[in-house]
Amino acid sequence: MRKHSLITAGFAAVLMLGGCANVAAAYDDLTGGSTTAETAGAVAGVPATTVDDAVSAAKKDLTAAHTLHEGVAHTLETFAADGILKGSAAATAKIYLDRSEAALKLADQAVSLADAKGIENQIGIANGLIAQAQTVMGK
């Protein structure tokens, strides 16, 4: 397993345990403090010459993931306000959306590290959690 996969798995575990006060510092500790595009590309398995392209594509995916999250969160609010979704179902869907938001925040931080693979990994986690929220909501 590559170092980056272990780092992502570690952050996923931190996310499930309630988050981390300073994720960027923790990421720096795990990567040895290097946050240059070349190091981020090497960690992500992307040649340094294509890091900018990979990060640019990942940023577009991240924008789409944020839009999806916002739409599902708005739908949840509407369903709850209209009494369509109540009690534990509404609470469970909110938990999934809160966790997906945390994953998207980690992806936002990965942008500043030029870590395309980290961005995409967090988007995958967020999208999975959003899908679980949608299932609970009956969408």
Percentage of the chain beyond pLDDT 70 is 64
Q: How far apart are CA 125 and CA 62, in angstroms?
A: 12
Q: Where are the domains of the chain?
A: 3-137
CB 65 within 8 A of CB 87: no
Q: What's the token pair of residue 135?
A: 């299932």
Taking the complete model, does pTM exceed 0.75, yes or no? no
Q: How far apart are CA 94 and CA 69, in angstroms?
A: 11
Each residue of 54-111: pLDDT tens digit? 999 999 999 999 999 999 999 999 999 999 999 999 999 999 999 999 999 999 999 9
